[in-house]
Structures are given as C-alpha cells and as structure tokens.
Amino acid sequence: MKFITKPIKKGTITGASGKKTAVLGTIVMTGALVMAATGCTTEVNADGITIESVIVSGYDMPEGADNSGAGNEANDVIAAPSVSGETEIDNQNVIPFEGTEESNQGTVTPAPTSEVTATPTPAQNNNNNSSKATSFAKIPDGTVYAMDYDNGFALNESFGKVKLYPDGAKIAFVTDGAVSKADISSVTGFSDAWLIRSNGKTYIYIGVVRGCYNNELNVYEVTENSIERIGVENLIISGPSFNNTKSFWCYEYNGTDCQTDVISFERNYKVSSNGMPIPADNYSELGAWIPVWAKNEMTGYVVKDGKVTSEKYTITKGESVEPVAVNEVEYIDIKNSKNMIIRVDFTDLCCTYYDQNDYRWTYKAVMSLFDSSSASYNNDISKLNDKQVVAFSPVKNGTTWADGNFGSFYIEPYGDHQLRITYNSKSYTVQCDYTDTKDVTINKAYLTKVEGKAFILVQTILEGDLKLLNIYSVTSDSIKSASSCALAFDGEVRTPASIICYDYDHMNGVISIKNAYRLTGNGVLTPCSDEYILSSSCEVKLTERSNGQIIRNGSLVNEYKTLNKGEVVELLYTDKANYIDVLTKDQVVVRIYCKSVFDSFYNANEGDKPFEAILSMIEPA
C-alpha cells in the first residue's frame, strides 16, 4: 500500500459542533484519506468551527515510485486485495498553521504488502515476417478505449489492434502476432476491459468477478509486445463514467468481505502516474445494505438543499439511521429516522482509526458509529447442518456455484489440471485428478457435512463421457484436497450416508459396477455394502462352461446348475473378489464362484481388477 502526502487547505464548515483536538498538519493519504502526521485541530467559533480539510487533485507521482500488485501461486489464498495508491509529495504547496513553523516532511515509506507483482511470460512472435503496425505512442494522453468482448476482449483502432483472451490460469495479450501472458484473478468472470493512455504509458484495466460476489479490477502495463500485471483492486468501475483518466466513478469494497459489507462506498477515482486507480478526492457516497441504527448519541447540524444550517439535531442511541456520505477528514452525513440529513463531525474518528497499513480504516471508522444486524448476514460454513446436502447450480460456462447461510461458493476450471474454489472473498487453487485433458470440465458438485466436517464433491467429465470424483475438505479459512476416486454419481445425492455411484475404473462401455457409498469424516467414500450391482450395456453370454449355486428368494440353497458356454445371462451382483451372480433365460439366479479368475487379474501395483476379471468370463451376445 502506498501513501500520499498532501498539503492542507483551510476551510470553514458552518454550524459544526465544537471540539478541541490536536493539530492537523500535513496528512498521509492511503487509498481514501487520511491522518495527520501531527494530529487534528478544530477552532470553535460562535457561528461554527474552522476545520482543516484536504483537496486531492492533479498531483503527479515522482519518478521512481512503484506499486506492488497481486499474484498468488497455486494453493495460495487469494484474499480480497488491498487498495494500492500512489506516493505524491508537493513541498511547495504545504501551508503552515498560524503560530507554527512549516512542518518538515520526511520520506514516505511504502507499507509492507503481501501482494506480489506477476512476472510476465516473454512474448512469442508468431509472425516473423510482419513489421509491428501497432503503436501506442499514437494514443493521446488521457484517452480511454472501452474494449469489445470477443471470447475475451478486442480493440481495433487507428493505433493498431490488440486482443485479450484467457489461456489456462493466465490472460494472453496479442499485438501484431506477438503473444505475452500475465496472471489474472479470474479466467471465467470477465465483465469489462479498457485500454488507456496516461503519463506516456499504456495500461489495460480488466474487470472480473472472482467467485460469486468478488468484483475485482486487474491492472496491467502493456507495451506493443508485453503485458505485466501491476495490481488488483476491490473496485467496480461504472463503465459510462470511465471516459477519461482524471475522474471516473467506482464502487469500492472497504470491508473484509464484499458479500457481507454493511456499508458500501462510491467515489471518484483517477489514474495515478504508476497506472493504478486512486481516489480523486476525500468524498465518498455511502449506502447500507442492511438496516443500521445509531450505536451512541450523535449531535450535528441539519443539512438542507446541500447546505449546512445552524439548526442542531441529536440522533439518539438506537435510532434507525442511514449513512449518506463521508469526507474522511471533516464530516459524515447521516439520514435520521425522520429523513433529515445530519452532518456530524468526523475528525476525531479520522485521528482514532487511521491506519497507514490498512486501507479499511475508513470503513471501520464509519462502522464504529452504527450497530447492525450483520451477525445474521455473516455466513459461515459452521451454519451448514450435519448430513445436509446442497447441490451446486447447474454448470454454466464451465463454472458452478452455491450459496446460503453457510456462505458462497464458486468453482471454476483454472489452468492445467486445477480447479479454483472461491469461498466468500477468498479463493483456493486445488488439484483435480483423474482428467485426461488440461482443461477440466465440471459436471456436478455437492456441498455436505459429516462428523462436523464440511466437504465439496466435484464430478468432472472426461472424453468418452467418463465421470470421476474429487473431494475437498472445507473450513472457514481453507479448502484442501481430501481424496479422489474413479466413481461417478448415479442420480442426485440426497445424503452423505448413501451416495449411489458407478465404479468407472477401466470402464470400456460393456459393464459397470454400482454401489452405495458413505462419506467419512476423512473425506473418503467407503462402500456401504460388500455386494456391488452389476449391469451391462448390451446382452452378454458366457465365454466358458460354468457350474453355479442357485439363489432363491435372496438366499443360497443346496442346489446347483451348470451353465453352458455361449449361454445368454443377465449380470446381477458381485463382491469383486469371489463370485458373480447372473440371471439365466429361464429366470434362475445362479452364483458362479470365480475367485481364481479374480486372483489372476490382481496386480500388485494397481490392486484388484474386477472389470477385467468379469470381462474375461462374458462377451457381447
């Protein structure tokens, strides 16, 4: 996270409540605004107070300032990325306070960040005979191009052509046959993309939805043959407003989870000299997603027609209210239960909550004024009931999702043999076994809970309609692979105690083996019975003469029957080790003992091979 050191501009708010605080000198801005390096001040006047305010506009970052972006390796958690700002220092415009000397500004040191700037893949030129026609230098500074969606994004303008498309877990950037790649926080949830020219450099902004509710802005610096991601922000750009680089409207996520944020922030942003979007001023419009009420008594002045009056009003503790707007260094406007807007001083909260290492300080400061019913909205996996089964939505565009009081889940293919599962605002990359292609295809998924532990069962589909299962354990702060198996759901899952599955191991289209399976607390499917149901895709006959014991009314009797080679039978059951049960044409159930056949198909490296054993005893009729 970066800071902005800005000068003070003095201003007067008529009718604000008078309080003595420390002196507000040069302030430090992070993401929004701000905290004084030397404190805060207000002077009480008869008709109001004088307050120090901040104007942020038109300052360029010094050469050499950098900005760190987000890039997480496989199995890393992708949390809601922090807002990155820029460092701006303007010593010439610092206005000293009366009775004090001009404050000395020290070096502004960027705070530590967990974000890692992605290293771009070297460009590969697939058109060696073509000269580069694309020239970003032709684009006037301040220009913003909205890109067209075309299985990714494309742009064809006077400066040349560019194209963006997902490639595994990367975004590919193409100009004049040169292809380069960089990380992106979602390869399935594209919303908008823009190419912009600012401060002599070219940038691409790509809006995505990572999971169900996690809107993010991926920021890249590009040249005619390279792309590098320089940051990720929890922002949604209002498309129509993004027609210039100095002022465009954004919806800003300031809480820990954009799904459960109580207060929303909307404000103007601008493109900084390092390409990242930063707030253009101190002002944010506010809104509450759920009902809130005053945590304590608050006194302020009534605002009418956008102007502060001298009429005082006290909002009582517990009164139903609605946050309207905030200037992080001056005031907050609150609508009371009578639909009156009350302007309440915010300077003390600025001084109390400012944290240069956490851009959410403004959100915390605002929320300190209100109570809410957010507890009922804070969804967590602990709210999933034991043995409850939740089916994910039908798969669309390769992705599937589920939400409820347990939270929100979103599953998407993510590169080579991988899935990414987003739970609320965090994403986890997990391996997806048993797939013969790099691009995983999701078929079905279920969320369930056994022995107090939550699991997601994901069925993937391979070539030839082969379906296989991967099981992942879920906690409030982790998703990990638990097991994988060569099974496929037979119908819908109703309970984790009895999941009917086909065994597709070495499936060749002639026979299948089915059983009910129980999900254990270790995330493993265990057969509920030692006896498996056999079925065949065609009529079959025996390959050898066999003797068998007759079964009547489900019980073995002391009767035996000889079955001839070539005799047509219907496959019924097997224990995959000792016998197969078949039904003859004259409707007699016969158990054929064949342990020696099963043993002959045992492999020390692969274990039992029941399919091969049974197939050696039958053939299509």
Condensed to tens digits (0 to 9), the pLDDT of residues 18-40 reads: 322 222 222 223 333 233 333 33
d(CA 106, CA 322): 40
The mean of the pLDDT values for the chain is 78
Confidence tier at 304 by pLDDT (50, 70, 90): very high
Confidence tier at 86 by pLDDT (50, 70, 90): very low
Q: Phi/psi at 215 (nearest 5 deg)? A: -80, 130
56 against 125, higher pLDDT: 125
Distances (CA, A) of 570 to 43, 434, 621: 95, 30, 11
d(CA 229, CA 242): 20
Q: Of 116, 85, 141, 118, which is closest to residue 272 (Cα–Cα)?
A: 85
Segments making up each domain of the chain, as ranges: 379-507+515-527, 530-621
Indicate the helix (H) or strand (E) that contains 526.
strand 525-527
pLDDT at 255: 55
- How far is residue 117 CA from its own chain's centroid? 18
pLDDT at 69: 38
Q: What is the pLDDT averaged over residues 51-55?
A: 32
Condensed to tens digits (0 to 9), the pLDDT of residues 412-453 reads: 888 778 899 999 888 999 998 755 565 678 889 999 999 999
pLDDT at 252: 82
Cβ 456 vs Cβ 472: under 8 Å: yes
pLDDT at 467: 80
Q: Which long-range contacts does 251-256 make (Cβ < 8 Å, 24+ apart)?
A: 251/215, 252/32, 252/83, 252/284, 253/80, 253/215, 254/32, 254/359, 254/360, 254/362, 254/363, 255/360, 255/363, 256/80, 256/360, 256/425
Condensed to tens digits (0 to 9), the pLDDT of residues 329-371 reads: 999 999 998 999 999 999 999 999 988 777 678 888 999 999 9
What is the residue whose two structure tokens read 């100009």?
175
CATH of 530-621, one of 1.10.287, 2.40.50, 2.30.30, 2.60.120: 2.30.30
Q: Of 619, 565, 564, 563, which is closest to residue 591 (Cα–Cα)?
A: 563
pTM for the full predicted model: 0.69
pLDDT at 149: 84
Sorted by sequence, the CB contacts under 8 Å of residue 35 that are 6+ apart come out as: 27, 28, 350, 351, 354, 356
Distances (CA, A) of 147 to 157, 242, 544: 10, 12, 68
pLDDT at 10: 30
Condensed to tens digits (0 to 9), the pLDDT of residues 128-157 reads: 444 558 999 999 999 999 998 877 899 999
The DSSP string of 287-322 is EESS-EEESS-EEEEEEETTEEEEEEEEEPTT-EEE
d(CA 549, CA 566): 19
pLDDT at 238: 85
Indicate the helix (H) or strand (E) that contains 214.
strand 214-223
